[in-house]
């Protein structure tokens, strides 16, 4: 294990034997209190930007339009594409795709770890970079998933 210390000799990061940061870096976090708001007032993570979903999108989704918004793999594929290298596009390069997993020719893997009630946990592995643990949540009254947390585990190998 390798430890990175600050000037006061306190560990600020550690790398384990597998070459991964021992403690993840939180890239994005949305407090639980936001999910008590109306869905149109909840910040929506979209490729590194924060936007707000208009009421029409929720109504259209209820009518069967844009079903990808309620699939955690699809939401991560589209809305977290900014977290991978620019030349490692994940769209249109699928080797394997299902409701639970997406794999690309260049080794990117997006896998559903758990989905229960209104919360889903997804892992996105980017070769040469590391992995992201992404938590998604559906506000009350909708099946649309919002990204509520992104944690990055850097790989040094």
Structure confidence by residue, pLDDT tens digits, 103-155: 988 889 999 999 998 999 999 999 888 999 999 999 999 999 999 999 998 87
108, 125 Cβ separation under 8 angstroms = yes
Structure confidence by residue, pLDDT tens digits, 60-118: 999 999 999 999 999 999 999 999 866 555 555 668 888 899 998 888 999 999 999 89
Backbone Cα Rg of the chain? 17
Q: What is the SS3 assignment for 77?
A: helix
How many beta carbons lie within 10 A of that of residue 132, not counting itself? 23
């Amino acid at each position: 294990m390798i430890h990175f210390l600050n000037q006061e000799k306190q560990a600020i990061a550690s790398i384990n034997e597998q070459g991964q940061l021992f403690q993840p870096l939180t890239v994005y976090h949305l407090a639980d209190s936001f999910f008590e708001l109306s869905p149109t007032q909840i910040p929506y993570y979209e490729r590194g930007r924060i936007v707000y979903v208009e009421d029409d999108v929720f109504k259209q989704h209820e009518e069967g339009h844009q079903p990808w918004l309620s699939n955690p793999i699809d939401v991560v594929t589209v809305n977290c594409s900014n977290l991978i290298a620019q030349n490692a596009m994940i769209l249109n390069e699928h080797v394997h795709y299902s409701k639970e997993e997406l794999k690309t020719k260049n080794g990117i893997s997006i896998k559903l770890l758990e989905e229960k009630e209104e919360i889903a946990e997804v892992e996105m592995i980017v070769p040469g970079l590391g992995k992201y643990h992404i938590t998604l949540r559906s506000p009350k009254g909708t099946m649309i998933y919002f990204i509520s947390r992104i944690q990055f585990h850097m790989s040094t190998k």
